[in-house]
Amino acid sequence: MKITVLNARQMSEVFSMKDAIQADKDALQLYSEGKSTIPLRANLDIKKYNGQTLYMYGYAEPAKASGVKIVSVYPDNIEKGLTSVPATMILVNCETGEVNCMMDGTHLTRIRTGAVAGAATDILARKDSKVFALFGTGGQAESQLEAVLNVRHIELIKVFDINKERAKTFAEKMTQKFGSKFSVKIVPASSAADAVQDADVITAVTTASEPVFDGSLVKKGVHINGVGSYTPSMSEIDEKIIIGASKIYVDTNDAVKESGDLIKPIKKGVFSADKITGELGSVLSGKIPGRTSQDEITFFETTGSAVLDLVTGQRIYEKAVQAKIGSVIEI
């Protein structure tokens, strides 16, 4: 059995953000059409070492994608000089059941998570969007920024972080990487209110448990991506947005059970799940409408799904084999 092993650099060589956005669109459409099998993830506590390992697996037949992403959460790893959230994606040949690829799961998660918000922005944001507000400067922030730049002609990006120095450093780094390539100005915002002022697209990718900006300050026609809230206790989006949005979309309907952005207003009785427009994949399938007017406020919530890992991972593997990139081991 031959297994291709891919690190983050090799994955980047063969797979662009545009590729990832298309892969995520295809994955969500497959999911919404019932053409994938995604069981509940398995969680395993390793109490002796203060760790937890998550197994996210599934099968998407039209994409010929099957496999499992293993993500561990070991907070004490930092003291050992190791990453606290190591991740590996393992792909399986659908026809033979043999493992055919192992790849960096952390890089895969970053690119597919950035790409899913990029896909939502491409589908839902106004075509003339020029100003982008980004909340958060952590490990996911760069891919979120790159994804939006790939789907809209953004002229100004305002970055906000509770740590102003961190926002300044991130803006400078992103300017060096993307400023000339996309002819975009990237600056730190002086406040959350400054960030959302005149923003056409807003993405929040934080670990916050309280809203990161005042929802009453957004303008008509804005599109908002909620990316950071993937547990019931986490919430970064003001309930004013949830209540007042013209249309609300999710990556999968599991988001209603997982994201505090939605769970908290539902529990308070100010919002109900039946007001959610539907899954993004259903827009792609033509089953439900996307944006239908310039003034609509659209909101997209993502908590992630194994279907994104499967389809994106399979596409990366296929491109790597075609380009003869990666190490091949035989066992």
Mean pLDDT along residues 268-293: 97
b vs e for 143-174, b when ≥16 Cβ sit within 10 Å of the residue's Cβ?
bbbbbbbbbbebeebbbbbeeeebbeebbeeb
| Residues 133 and 249 reside in one and the same domain | yes
The domain that holds 292 is classified in CATH as: 3.40.50.720
Residue 180 domain flag: yes
Q: Is the pLDDT of residue 78 over 90?
A: no
Q: Is the pLDDT of residue 315 over 90?
A: yes
| pLDDT at residue number 267 | 95
| Residues 143 and 259 reside in one and the same domain | yes
Q: Is the pLDDT of residue 83 over 90?
A: no
- Alpha-carbon distances, residue 5 vs 110, 260, 328 (angstroms): 18, 36, 6
Q: What percent of the chain has pLDDT over 90?
A: 94
Residue 132 domain flag: yes
Mean pLDDT of the chain: 96
What is the length of the chain? 331
pLDDT, tens digit, 9 for 90 and up, residues 232-265: 999 999 999 999 999 999 999 999 999 999 999 9
What is the count of structural domains for the chain?
2
| Residues 291 and 315 reside in one and the same domain | no
| Residues 91 and 168 reside in one and the same domain | no
| Residues 151 and 193 reside in one and the same domain | yes
pLDDT band per the 50, 70, 90 thresholds, residue 292: very high
- Beta carbons within 10 angstroms of residue 76's beta carbon: 11
| pLDDT at residue number 84 | 86
Mean pLDDT along residues 86-105: 97
Q: Is the pLDDT of residue 297 over 90?
A: yes
pLDDT, tens digit, 9 for 90 and up, residues 178-217: 999 999 999 999 999 999 999 999 999 998 999 999 999 9
Q: Residue by residue, what is the 3-state secondary structure of the chain?
A: CEEEEECHHHHHHHCCHHHHHHHHHHHHHHHHCCCEECCCCEEEEEHHHCEEEEEEEEEEHHHCEEEEEEEEECHHHHHHCCCCCCEEEEEECCCCCCEEEEEEHHHHHHHHHHHHHHHHHHHHCCCCCCEEEEECCCCCHHHHHHHHHHHCCCCEEEEECCCHHHHHHHHHHHHHHHHHHHCCEEEECCCHHHHHCCCCEEEECCCCCCCCCCHHHCCCCCEEEECCCCCCCCCCCCHHHHHHCCEEEECCCCHHHHCHHHHHHHHHCCCCHHHCCEEHHHHHCCCCCCCCCCCCCEEEECCCCHHHHHHHHHHHHHHHHHHCCCEEEEC
Nearest to 140 by CA among 118, 121, 120, 156: 118
Q: Is the pLDDT of residue 56 over 90?
A: yes
Cα–Cα distance for residue pair 47/51, rounded to 1 Å: 6
| pLDDT at residue number 145 | 98
| Residues 182 and 47 reside in one and the same domain | no
The domain that holds 27 is classified in CATH as: 3.30.1780.10
Mean pLDDT along residues 87-104: 98
| pLDDT at residue number 230 | 85
Mean pLDDT along residues 114-141: 97
Q: Is the pLDDT of residue 31 over 90?
A: yes
Q: What residue numbers bound the domain in which 149 lies? A: 125-304
Mean pLDDT along residues 93-116: 97
| Residues 69 and 186 reside in one and the same domain | no
Residue 117 domain flag: no
Residue 41 domain flag: yes
Q: Is the pLDDT of residue 285 over 90?
A: yes
Q: What percent of the chain has pLDDT over 70?
A: 100
pLDDT band per the 50, 70, 90 thresholds, residue 85: confident
| Residues 71 and 97 reside in one and the same domain | yes
Residue 116 domain flag: no
pLDDT, tens digit, 9 for 90 and up, residues 38-54: 998 899 999 999 999 99
Task: Name residue 290's beta-bridge partners.
Answer: none
| Residues 277 and 320 reside in one and the same domain | no
